[in-house]
Amino acid sequence: MIPQVFKEVIDLGDGREISIETGKLAKQAHGSVVVKSGKCMLLCTVVSNYKQADVDFLPLTVDYREKFAAAGRYPGGFFKREARPSDGEVLTMRLVDRVLRPLFPKDYHSETQVMIQLMSHDEDVMPDAMAGLAASAAIQLSDFPFECAISEARVGRINGEFIINPTRAQLEESDIDMMIGASADSVMMVEGEMDEISEEEMTEAIKFAHEAIKVQCAAQVKLAEAFGKKEVREYEPEREDADLAQKIHDLAYDKVYAVAKSASSKHERGAAFGEIKEEIKATFSEEELEDIGDLISKYYSKAEKAAVRDLTLNEGLRLDGRKTDEIRPIWCEVDYLPSTHGSAIFTRGETQALATVTLGTSRDAIQIDMPSYEGEERFYLHYNFPPFSTGEARPIRGTSRREVGHGNLAQRALKGMVPEDCPYTVRVVSEILESNGSSSMATVCSGTMALMDAGVQLTKPVSGIAMGLISDAESGKYAVLSDILGDEDHLGDMDFKVTGTADGITACQMDIKVKGLSYEILVNALKQAREGRLHILGKITDTISAPNADVKEHSPKMITRRIPNEFIGALIGPGGKVIQELQKETNTTIVINEDPVTEEGIVEILGVGNEGIDAVQAKIDSLLFKPEVGSVYEVKVIKMLDFGAVVEYTDAPGNEVLLHVSELAWERTENVSDVVNMGDVFDVKYFGVDPRTRKEKVSRKAILPKPEGYVARPPRDDKRSGGRDNRGRDNRGRDNRRDDRKPRNDKKED
């Protein structure tokens, strides 16, 4: 018996729908929904332990996985089983986590899991755009303490018209690809890439997505009411002591304010704050510290945050002494590493990124193999954040989700400026060597310079800046902070990163922590970000004003050729023999791909020296060489035969043809060596395919003057007695000879 199913349908306004249903699957989870659009189906389950974990944070895990069976495919690899998440899945997890996490109570510390699975795939539906909706809908059906329904939506723009949740095909035409996460009241998260749009256009895209999200939030609430809204579970809250909080505030506030105003460095400031905290703890007995030490630490952090925020709002000053719109000192350097194809250092204050560029062939592209998408990336960026960059020692456990996310943001910022006709696969790696505020934006800046240093012909240089916001709802005061520090990232109400050229925004990432942020403040913040971005861009172009005209001497040079499909086999050779020997002889890398549209062969030739590349091109020219009837060509003798000489076209080495002895000279030639010898170079005329011999015919004598008195031999009359027809089997007695033969004994004696 199928249980009762509850369902709500969301109309996207263009004939498409999203349905949310519950009651059929995964009923032992604390909340579960199936979200469907077209043939795409996501199953989301949520579970949270009833016992609080012994930690001071929310142990929330958001897991998003795409099942290969959903697309009727097998997983790649030996084991044929889904294993570690792909970068695409990790990025979706981060998008959902960033919207959900702030809506749980700060004192809720139960182990919580949100698991989203793609169970059925539709080529016309991008499932990541519905992951946030699925997660929130499942939580609404649970008894979790959760503030309100949220959802996420992707927005694109084609020919000036905004689209909600466009297809992947539509995104190819779109100049905006943004994911927005929001509740019915407030925008909370923005991330995406754009084609140099303005701040106003970006704000309009956010507004458009928010209107669609409001409808999705209402559908979740309606579904939960129909299903039967559960009472919010009770949990053990953190201890609170208002008197202690006030005492700590009074002891700490003025001292913290003074340190914050002293414009000290990160480590000096950290040490000074640590001393204040220790002084406060010294006013308590050991027994009190044993009992309320965690509360003392919590209330001190609150007092520190309040003092730093007030300093900025009241005096317009920041922890390092800067004004709100001031950028830290910047120094840059390119061509720092002698052996890389391109390198650059970007240092801004206490943040430093060293970027390298490596150039390769299409073989070096990243192959993306996900159930929802198959393709490749010819430009990609990897970001590494080692613990020494913050002066810490901690375990290294592989690439973190944060590293994947920051690298993706920088990649999206830069990829639109790499020209489509760039022949290389380009890999950028950013090594963060120091960090105190937005190493991802330092990655964008160092990556831009490294690409230009490598000779990649960027359309325009790109810079990036991290911004912050501190606001006070009661007074109405707010301050937008340019180029935020690591500490300001934590204490602010919004942190956002914006990248772009001098002409517009190319990528952004926002996390908005304050409710009801006005679009007016958002636009002002984006405009201040533009001023800072252009300042940083000036520092970049002062260091390297334009891409180097060519790649470095030790970098590989790339030539791309197109050849007709029928010549691909000849270039590869039997078992790859020709291409392998050619690569070995020329010290090059040769990659052959087939154009799926024209079916031509696309030949990539990669080599450090031009000589090797030229040799490969000569081989290709030789394969493609087609002499024209009536034209004269220079040839070289490469083989002597009794009946002529084998010659090769000097313009197409390896392209050979027989020069018959009768075509060497007007005079009768007894020996080929009487006229030509090995290695001789001379001209011949090409006559095409001889209809009698069905072989290509060339002639040396045809371009020589006839000797005086030369009389051409009369053409043979095949009808004459004794002619070729009369030299048949009857005249040769072939039939008679056959009759005279002794019978052959085909059988062997036993």
Residues with Cβ within 8 Å of 470's Cβ and at least 6 positions away in sequence, in order, are 309, 312, 313, 478, 479, 481, 491, 492, 493
HEC secondary structure over 486-514: HHHHHHCCEEEEEEEECCEEEEEEEEECC
Give residue 316's Cα distance to chain centre.
Answer: 39
Is 513 within 8 Å of 195 (Cβ atoms)? no
Residues with Cβ within 8 Å of 99's Cβ and at least 6 positions away in sequence, in order, are 132, 150, 152, 181, 182, 188, 189
- pLDDT for 716 equals 54
For tokens 């005249």, name the residue: 731
Residues with Cβ within 8 Å of 501's Cβ and at least 6 positions away in sequence, in order, are 196, 417, 460, 461, 462, 537
- pLDDT for 431 equals 97
Dihedral in degrees, nearest 10, Cα atoms 376, 79, 382, 497: 90
- pLDDT for 210 equals 95
Q: What tens digit of pLDDT does each residue of 619-652 get?
A: 888 888 888 898 999 999 999 998 899 998 888 8
CATH classification (class only), 556-624: alpha beta
CA-wise closest residue to 265 among 254, 257, 253, 273: 273
Q: How far is the C-alpha of 554 from the C-alpha of 202, rounded, in Å?
A: 42
- pLDDT for 714 equals 64
User: How many Cβ atoms are within 10 Å of 398's Cβ, its own excluded?
Assistant: 6
CA-wise closest residue to 370 among 656, 87, 593, 590: 87
Q: How far is the C-alpha of 117 from the C-alpha of 216, rounded, in Å?
A: 20
DSSP result, 340-354:
SSEEEEEEETTEEEE
Is 223 within 8 Å of 138 (Cβ atoms)? no
Q: Which residues of 422-435 are buried (b: 16+ CB within 10 A; e: fewer)?
A: bbbbbbbbbbbbbb
User: How many Cβ atoms are within 10 Å of 102's Cβ, its own excluded?
Assistant: 15
Taking every pair of C-alpha atoms in the chain, what is the biggest distance, in angstroms? 135
Q: How far is the C-alpha of 489 from the C-alpha of 483, rounded, in Å?
A: 10
Q: What tens digit of pLDDT does each residue of 676-713 get?
A: 999 999 999 999 888 888 888 999 988 888 887 777 66
Known binding residues for Mg(2+) are: 489, 495
Question: Which spans in 109-180 are helix H?
Answer: 131-140, 168-173
CATH number for the domain whose boundaries are 330-392+400-543? 3.30.230.70
DSSP state at residue 749: P
- pLDDT for 472 equals 85
- pLDDT for 156 equals 96
Q: How far is the C-alpha of 74 from the C-alpha of 80, rounded, in Å?
A: 7
pTM as predicted: 0.84
Q: Would you kindly state where each structural domain of the chain is located, as residue ranges?
A: 6-227, 242-315, 330-392+400-543, 556-624, 631-703
Amino acid at 182: A
Element (H, E) at 441: helix 439-453
Report residue 612 as tokens: 């090797």
According to CATH, the topology of domain 631-703 is OB fold (Dihydrolipoamide Acetyltransferase, E2P) (2.40.50)
Known binding residues are: 489, 495
User: How many Cβ atoms are within 10 Å of 9's Cβ, its own excluded?
Assistant: 11
CA-wise closest residue to 214 among 184, 257, 173, 181: 184
According to CATH, the topology of domain 242-315 is Arc Repressor Mutant, subunit A (1.10.10)
CATH number for the domain whose boundaries are 6-227? 3.30.230.70
User: How many Cβ atoms are within 10 Å of 195's Cβ, its own excluded?
Assistant: 13
Burial class (CB in 10 A: 0-12, 13-18, 19+), 4: exposed
- pLDDT for 193 equals 96
Q: How far is the C-alpha of 700 from the C-alpha of 693, rounded, in Å?
A: 18
- pLDDT for 540 equals 97
Report residue 313 as tokens: 């709002």
pLDDT along the chain (750 residues), means of 10: 89 92 95 96 97 92 96 88 92 96 94 97 95 97 96 96 94 95 94 95 95 96 93 91 94 93 88 93 91 91 92 90 93 96 96 96 90 91 94 89 95 95 94 93 97 96 94 85 87 90 96 84 91 96 95 91 88 89 92 88 90 88 85 91 89 84 87 90 90 88 82 58 46 46 47
| CATH topology match: 556-624 vs 631-703 | no
For tokens 């970068």, name the residue: 87
HEC secondary structure over 290-325: HHHHHHHHHHHHHHHHHHHHHHHHHHCECCCCCECC
The helix, strand and coil proportions of the chain, stated in percent and rounded to the nearest 5, come to 35, 30, 35
Q: How far is the C-alpha of 325 from the C-alpha of 479, rounded, in Å?
A: 9
